[in-house]
Chains A and B, each alone.
Chain A
């Protein structure tokens, strides 16, 4: 059985009167692929932000590979090998695709190795036709792919993807699924998604967030047929 690489204990994040994450106990094993679902405002993005140091949790702990990282700075957590694709596209718009990926790779190796890594990632993510384009001029789906490239370039052991398929064409999505499967060879991956078909095609284990808490955690089929989940989540959507 693989070891636990990520754990949160009583993780709580309050914004004034709003409790976005409420006593979340979560754990993830090495190279596990997990989907995080839940209605709008359930606290999924806030949870990711607490994991990456973009927010400092009000209470509770984050433990990564046996070390408590709760109050660590974002860049330190990232340097440890945690990659995130944020919900809002988060790329370097004014420079080329190549430069984006090179900069991400350069943090972990020499310039020459970073150039090699850049080529490899560009190849793997089929970005070669747009490699020299300025990222700000690209289409939404392409930018999402560039951001995935940035994440991949760092060889992370933990990958957080916040709605990676949002606004993408079905071809893009298929490619995205391939890339994600590729990533799970070396990394544990958590994906926040609303698209049920997407979830079914990538994950077996699903965690349901509702009002800042973990409502349920089980196999995708069990979760989908659960009446409570249908009520808070699917019921609203349909």
Chain B
């Protein structure tokens, strides 16, 4: 069992290495870094929604919170290592408190969606209204709708003069995404992750098995917040400015669409959905003919109608069908014997 995991890890490492080296030959690293950031953000929602059944309409709140936490901490501390940690801890703590209130309050799924949406809106409104000089944290002014520019960006730990930007930022972000991906993998294979799937499948049965679903959902929600926060921190380093636009509802909606298109309940799907759709948006942004949002909308509708499970499950199915045929087996039968919790 452990050997298989090691072997899979080695294969994934090699593939990731190849992809990491090849991508910059096709797309600029500046664009790629953003795609990776979005991939990480999508993974955070993919984890809590796809495997924990928690549909959060406000994942952008943790993303924005991570970005702001980084910017504010970086202005105050100068060096980037502590700010990176703070950018993970602050959204995680906030998610733990918010999640705790929602789950222990036994809110239904719809209310959960509404509350996370409203929280995002509150952040958006609040950050927009912090233009005045009274809104400072340490030496950092929040800056209202202008946001916060001019903070220390990512540096080699301990060496504030050694900036990580451009191509290096791309490589560091890629490695970070890979590490987080494997951590998520590890969580999903652990008993904690398997119980999370049980809760997604049937909350009542999970608690009749003896699991405290409120506590477990709170922890999972906090983990999702932490990953979104890390994505926000990398975003802050990429953009070199953070603005209230990070908390926009459009951003929250996009994360949900990335997950649906990529494949909910799969581990790679949300990342691919995010990178694919964000790249498309970037390409479409260069022309004026059709509006971006319309295209995203059309893609979503097409997927919901024709590939409701998303891209990755569809590819898996095609793969299985072709392999099944080669082996002269009836594909329908091979499907039946499949343990379907992991994608």
Binding site for B on A (CB under 8 A): 52, 54, 73-75, 78-79, 83-84, 86, 90-96, 98-99, 102-104, 106-108, 111, 132-134, 137, 150, 154
Give CA–CA (A154, B209) in the complex, Å: 8
Give CA–CA (A134, B337) in the complex, Å: 8
Residues of A within 8 A of B205 (CB): 90-92, 150
A105 to chain B, nearest CB (A): 9
Q: Is B204 an interface residue (CB 8 A)?
A: yes
The 8 Å CB contact of B212, one of A54, A75, A84, A150, is: A75
Contact B336 A75 (CB under 8 A): no
Residues of B204-231 at the interface with A, using a CB-CB cut-off of 8 Å, are: 204-213
User: Besides A95-B341, A99-B341, A103-B206, 12 other CB < 8 A contacts?
Assistant: A75-B212, A78-B208, A92-B202, A94-B341, A95-B198, A95-B201, A95-B339, A104-B209, A106-B191, A106-B194, A150-B205, A150-B209
Residues of A within 8 A of B191 (CB): 106, 111
Interface residues on B, range: 20 to 34
Contact B207 A103 (CB under 8 A): no
Closest 8 CB pairs of A and B: A79-B210, A78-B210, A96-B339, A92-B201, A107-B210, A95-B341, A75-B207, A74-B207
The 8 Å CB contact of B340, one of A84, A86, A96, is: A96
B45-65 near A? 1/0 per residue, CB < 8 Å:
000000000000000000000
Contact B340 A78 (CB under 8 A): no
Residues of B within 8 A of A150 (CB): 205, 209
Query: What are 28 A-B contacts defined by CB distance under 8 Å?
Result: A52-B208, A74-B204, A74-B207, A75-B207, A75-B213, A78-B208, A86-B208, A90-B202, A92-B201, A92-B205, A93-B201, A94-B200, A94-B341, A95-B197, A95-B198, A95-B340, A102-B194, A104-B209, A106-B191, A106-B194, A106-B195, A107-B209, A107-B210, A108-B210, A132-B338, A134-B339, A150-B209, A154-B209
Contact A99 B194 (CB under 8 A): yes
The 8 Å CB contact of A94, one of B197, B206, B213, is: B197
Contact A98 B339 (CB under 8 A): yes
Instruction: Look across to chain B and name the residue whose beta carbon is closest to the beta carbon of A99.
Output: B341
Give CA–CA (A52, B337) in the complex, Å: 34
Give CA–CA (A83, B194) in the complex, Å: 20
Give CA–CA (A78, B341) in the complex, Å: 24
Contact A92 B336 (CB under 8 A): no
Residue of A90, A104, A154 with most partner-chain B CB within 10 A: A104
Give CA–CA (A52, B194) in the complex, Å: 24
Q: Say whether, besides A99-B194, A99-B339, A154 and B202 are in contact (CB < 8 Å).
A: no
Contact B338 A134 (CB under 8 A): yes
Residues of B289-343 at the interface with A, using a CB-CB cut-off of 8 Å, are: 336-341
Q: How many residue pairs, one in A and one in B, have C-beta atoms under 8 Å apart?
A: 84
A48 to chain B, nearest CB (A): 11
Residues of A within 8 A of B195 (CB): 103, 106
Instruction: Look across to chain B and name the residue whose beta carbon is closest to the beta carbon of A98.
Output: B339
Residues of B within 8 A of A107 (CB): 209-211
Give CA–CA (A195, B70) in the complex, Å: 66
Contact B201 A96 (CB under 8 A): no
Give CA–CA (A90, B202) in the complex, Å: 8
Give CA–CA (A107, B216) in the complex, Å: 13
Instruction: Look across to chain A and name the residue whose beta carbon is closest to the beta carbon of B265.
Output: A94
Give CA–CA (A194, B336) in the complex, Å: 34
Residues of B within 8 A of A96 (CB): 339-341
Instruction: Look across to chain B and name the residue whose beta carbon is closest to the beta carbon of A95.
Output: B341
Contact A93 B202 (CB under 8 A): yes
Residues of B within 8 A of A54 (CB): 204
Residues of A within 8 A of B212 (CB): 73, 75
Give CA–CA (A91, B210) in the complex, Å: 14
The 8 Å CB contact of A90, one of B208, B213, B336, B339, is: B208
Residues of A within 8 A of B194 (CB): 99, 102-103, 106
Give CA–CA (A154, B210) in the complex, Å: 9
Give CA–CA (A61, B75) in the complex, Å: 59
Give CA–CA (A137, B341) in the complex, Å: 14
Give CA–CA (A207, B195) in the complex, Å: 37
The 8 Å CB contact of A91, one of B202, B207, B338, B339, is: B202
Residues of B within 8 A of A83 (CB): 208
Give CA–CA (A130, B124) in the complex, Å: 51
B134 to chain A, nearest CB (A): 45
Residues of A within 8 A of B207 (CB): 73-75, 78
Give CA–CA (A84, B201) in the complex, Å: 18
Residue of B191, B204, B209, B337 with most partner-chain A CB within 10 A: B209
The 8 Å CB contact of B208, one of A84, A99, A111, is: A84
Give CA–CA (A49, B206) in the complex, Å: 15
Contact B339 A132 (CB under 8 A): yes
Contact A74 B341 (CB under 8 A): no
Residues of B within 8 A of A99 (CB): 194, 339, 341
Residues of B within 8 A of A111 (CB): 191
Contact A78 B339 (CB under 8 A): no
Residues of B within 8 A of A154 (CB): 209-210
Give CA–CA (A4, B340) in the complex, Å: 43
Residues of B within 8 A of A98 (CB): 339
Give CA–CA (A99, B339) in the complex, Å: 8
